[in-house]
Amino acid sequence: MSHTAHIRNHRKPRNRSASTIAMRAGVAGGVIGTLAVAGSSASAYAAEPVTQTLELPTLTADLATQVAQSAEATQQAAANYQLQAERDAAAAKAAKQAKTDLAEAKKKAAEAKRKAEAKKKAEAERKAEAERKAAEAAASRSAQRTVLTDAAPVSASTSSAPSSTAKNSSSTATGSAATVIAFAKAQIGDAYVSGGTGPNSWDCSGLVQAAFKQVGVNLPRVSQAQSTAGTQVSLSNLQPGDILYWGGAGSAYHVAVYVGGGMFVGAQNSATGVVEKPLSYDPPSGAVRVL
């Protein structure tokens, strides 16, 4: 006998109501009925095979069209993006080239301006240097007071100063010489301008050329050529209308017109303009006669 057989069961008996028992019986009966129907249905289907036909959706063709259109739209968009990128690149390149061209143009303009200013400065310096040398040469000759004589020596009794020698020559101009002298004197007071040929400004050779042109004599334009345009004459035997020159024959740097009485008229420099001066003011180196 079990050692627990004598122990009474203290658990209370379940109080199952009649309604609960009936409900459980009903549920069990329903389940059994359902299994029976399922079994009979399965037997019926097993006896006769069933064939089903599935129809593809009618939207398949439309879907393909939509896919194709989408792909085409994508390609078009890509092409548009590429075209825009190419345009942007071309615009950027053109802008860069324009900027480079502008910088180059500015650089060339600045260089041209610099060269022009340098040329102008060099020309001004050259002109100033020429005037300085001419002034120095004139001052040197005036200081030395060299005697205007022929190369042959003369005795002390016949030697004379340049001014007195010139005064002993004929001081009255006639004919063509008078016309040349009258024109030259008419320009006294005009300005001296390098390269000037009148009517209100002159350089030395321009004045001499214009004066002789009044009588139909066409002289060369520059003083170097004018110093050899006629017959060389002695400074002690000057006549009105002779051309005086300063420097060597063929390399003269200044010319003027001898007007008689020991005087000459010439376009001296920018400070004096066209003036009438005595030979002693700036003794010439030689003279030529063309009339």
Would you say residue 75 lies in a domain?
A: no
Instruction: Please name the residues in contact with 282: beta carbons below 8 A apart, sequence gap of 6 or more.
Output: 138, 141, 142, 246, 268
Q: Name the least confident of 11-15, 154-158, 221-225.
A: 154-158
- The residue segments making up the domain with residue 191 are 145-289
**Residue given tokens 């001419």 in the structure block:** 134
What's the whole-number mean pLDDT along residues 158-171? 39
Count of CB atoms situated within 10 Å of the CB of 191 = 13
Would you say residue 64 lies in a domain?
A: no
- The pLDDT score that the predictor gives to residue 43 is 47
Would you say residue 179 lies in a domain?
A: yes
How far is Cα 153 from Cα 147, in angstroms, rounded to an integer? 11
pLDDT digits (tens, 9 = 90+) for 252-269: 999 999 999 999 999 999
What's the whole-number mean pLDDT along residues 205-228? 96
Would you say residue 253 lies in a domain?
A: yes
Question: Whose CA is closest to 279, among 145, 181, 170, 177?
Answer: 145
H or E element that contains 264: strand 263-269
- The pLDDT score that the predictor gives to residue 173 is 78
- The pTM of the whole model exceeds 0.75: no
Would you say residue 113 lies in a domain?
A: no
List residues bridging with 1 in a β-sheet: none
**Residue given tokens 């939509």 in the structure block:** 66
Would you say residue 15 lies in a domain?
A: no
- Say if residue 74's pLDDT is above 90: no
Would you say residue 89 lies in a domain?
A: no
3-state SS, residue 50: coil
* CATH number of residue 233's parent domain: 3.90.1720.10
Q: Per the structure, how many domains does the chain have?
A: 1
Q: Name the least confident of 49-53, 113-117, 213-217.
A: 49-53
- Say if residue 160's pLDDT is above 80: no
Would you say residue 100 lies in a domain?
A: no
Question: Whose CA is closest to 263, among 289, 238, 286, 285?
Answer: 238
Q: Which of the pair, 170 or 135, is modelled with greater confidence?
A: 135
How far is Cα 142 from Cα 148, in angstroms, rounded to an integer? 12
